[in-house]
């Protein structure tokens, strides 16, 4: 009877102790593959070729029972995760998820050996992917966003760079011909607009845009301080005409073709947005992007497009806006407000919500409490846990305010200083957007 009971006792011991040991082993193995999947996904955006080796290394850092998992017992697959169907699909170009499977076929047992069971097989699987993001991009389309293309920037950017940019803008407008004007301005001493207009052959030539006039242009060249400092007072030609459009008639309702041209720094901003959207699309993690711009004709901001996966639409809209498109002024608080409301109302549950805010100047609307309005909206973003990535451009940007906005929301601040060449400006902006695009929180989905 004792011998029979001993067999039963060992069976119960095998069931209790060995089963517990199996559960412990599976738990430890699951921790290992979880760590491997997360680590592999973390390097996926930077270098997919390192994802497999990284995942294996992290699995091996977690021992299972008394032994280490061997590389031959680990299978790493790169692919994509379909959230709606909760399935992993191998492949993808580029991949956005990592699946790690580990299986031990000789996991040792103890008391079960009396029942001729020396070992067993245990396995674990994990899938990690990028957390989807809902990103509101808030862009400054105030009139100062074409300042780097104007004659007043000669002292900072150099005469050759500014004048070459003005000629590029003239070419992009189709190199129009009006009267007998030439590209290089010609000095006309007369202070009579009628005489100057007759000399330029413009008396019977219609002014090409809805706002402004030949008389206004002529008076501008006679009296504008920036033109005088650049050495072009009373010098008439396409160079000063383009500068007139940029400085005096920048809005869409005034000179509606300027969005097609290389106004700076807004064109560098547009190029950087294109780069950001390209990075977002490269790693397919179900991101959405919306676009808000300031300042709107009503003094606030405009939601150009809500959160969407249509990156081409966001890029198209950003391209088809010009410096001072709706208004000359800078209402940063309204831009934040518009982005925050869109995230509150339409962002997805479980997605990372963030705002990317760009400006080259200082808040000046609403008049008298512009900065306070910015900080009030920042506090509301912080309460919603929306990090704000701020990018300040040029010497006139309020960097201290942008730094404060970023710190209050646990975001980041990037400063692109003034007095730089346009090409340097552009490269710095692209670096900023690369860093923003690479900020991808991870999620263990299986």
Domain with residue 267: its CATH number is: 3.40.50.410
Quote the number of domains for the chain: 3
At residue 225, the pLDDT reads 97
Same domain, yes or no, for 231 and 326? no
Distances (CA, A) of 141 to 201, 258, 357, 367, 432: 35, 12, 12, 18, 19
At residue 173, the pLDDT reads 97
Residue 160 lies in a domain: no
Domain coverage including residue 94:
2-130
Residue 402 lies in a domain: yes
Same domain, yes or no, for 91 and 180? no
Same domain, yes or no, for 98 and 230? no
Mean pLDDT of 160-171: 95
Domain boundary among 225, 256, 287: 256
Same domain, yes or no, for 252 and 267? no
Does the pLDDT at position 337 exceed 60?
yes
At residue 215, the pLDDT reads 97
Same domain, yes or no, for 323 and 369? yes
Contact 273, 181 (CB under 8 A): no
Q: Which residues neighbour 348 within 8 Å (Cβ) at sequence distance 6 or greater?
A: 132, 134, 288
At residue 131, the pLDDT reads 79
Residue 416 lies in a domain: yes
Tokens 């995942």 correspond to what residue?
55
Same domain, yes or no, for 232 and 295? no
At residue 164, the pLDDT reads 95
Domain boundary among 200, 229, 256: 256
Lowest mean pLDDT among 64-68, 206-210, 255-259, 330-334: 64-68
Same domain, yes or no, for 388 and 301? yes
Same domain, yes or no, for 187 and 329? no
At residue 382, the pLDDT reads 97
Does the pLDDT at position 114 exceed 60?
no
Same domain, yes or no, for 277 and 239? no
At residue 178, the pLDDT reads 97
Same domain, yes or no, for 410 and 360? yes
Residue 163 lies in a domain: no
Distances (CA, A) of 388 to 87, 145, 406, 413: 32, 21, 5, 8
Same domain, yes or no, for 296 and 357? yes
At residue 419, the pLDDT reads 62
Domain boundary among 96, 130, 164: 130
Residue 234 lies in a domain: yes
Mean pLDDT of 122-140: 90
Q: Which residues neighbour 225 within 8 Å (Cβ) at sequence distance 6 or greater?
A: none
Does the pLDDT at position 321 exceed 90?
yes
Q: What is the pLDDT of residues 391-432, one digit of tens each?
A: 888 777 889 999 999 999 999 898 887 666 656 767 777 777
The CA distance from 288 to 185, in Å, is: 48
Distances (CA, A) of 71 to 31, 46, 57, 255: 16, 23, 9, 65
The CA distance from 236 to 414, in Å, is: 40
Q: Could you tell me the pTM of the whole model?
A: 0.78
Same domain, yes or no, for 297 and 417? yes
Residue 157 lies in a domain: no
Residue 284 lies in a domain: yes
Q: What is the mean pLDDT of the chain?
A: 88
Residue 162 lies in a domain: no
């Amino acid at each position: 009877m004792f011998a029979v009971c001993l067999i039963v006792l060992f069976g119960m011991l095998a069931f209790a102790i060995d089963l517990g040991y199996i559960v412990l082993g599976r738990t430890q193995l699951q921790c290992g593959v979880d760590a491997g999947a997360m680590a592999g996904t973390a390097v996926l955006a930077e270098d997919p070729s390192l994802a497999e080796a990284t995942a294996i290394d992290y699995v091996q850092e977690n021992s299972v029972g008394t032994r280490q998992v061997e590389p031959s017992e680990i299978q790493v697959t790169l692919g994509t995760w379909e959230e709606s169907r909760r399935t992993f699909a191998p492949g993808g170009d580029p991949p956005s998820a990592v699946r790690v499977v580990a299986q031990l076929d000789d996991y040792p047992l103890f008391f079960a050996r009396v029942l001729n069971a020396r070992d067993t097989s245990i396995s674990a699987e994990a899938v990690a992917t990028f957390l989807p993001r809902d990103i509101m991009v808030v862009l400054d389309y105030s009139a100062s966003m074409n300042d780097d293309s104007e004659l007043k920037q000669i002292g900072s950017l150099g005469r050759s760079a500014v004048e070459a940019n003005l000629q590029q803008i003239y070419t992009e407008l189709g190199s129009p011909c009006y009267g007998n004007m030439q590209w290089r301005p010609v000095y006309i001493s007369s202070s009579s607009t009628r005489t100057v207009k007759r000399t330029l052959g413009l008396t019977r030539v219609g002014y090409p845009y809805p706002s402004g006039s030949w008389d206004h242009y002529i008076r501008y060249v006679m009296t504008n301080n920036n033109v005088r400092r650049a050495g072009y007072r009373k010098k008439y030609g396409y160079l000063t005409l383009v500068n007139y459009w940029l400085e005096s008639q920048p809005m869409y309702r005034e000179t509606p073709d300027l969005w097609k041209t290389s106004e700076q720094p807004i064109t560098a901003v547009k190029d950087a947005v294109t780069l950001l959207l390209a990075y977002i699309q490269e790693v397919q993690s179900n991101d959405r992007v919306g676009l808000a711009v300031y300042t709107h004709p009503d003094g606030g901001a405009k939601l150009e497009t809500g959160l969407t996966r249509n990156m081409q639409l966001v890029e198209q809209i950003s391209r088809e806006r010009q410096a001072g498109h709706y208004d000359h002024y800078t209402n940063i608080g309204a831009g934040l407000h518009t982005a925050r409301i869109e995230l509150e109302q339409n962002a997805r549950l479980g997605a990372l919500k963030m705002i990317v805010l760009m400006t080259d100047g200082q808040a000046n609307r609403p008049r008298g409490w512009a900065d306070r309005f910015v900080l009030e909206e920042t506090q509301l973003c912080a309460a919603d846990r929306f990090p704000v990535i701020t990018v300040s451009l040029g010497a006139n940007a309020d960097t201290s305010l942008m730094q404060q906005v970023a710190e209050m929301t646990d975001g980041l601040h990037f400063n692109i200083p003034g007095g730089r060449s346009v090409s340097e400006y552009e490269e710095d902006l692209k670096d900023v957007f690369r860093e923003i695009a690479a900020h991808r929180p991870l999620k263990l989905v299986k």
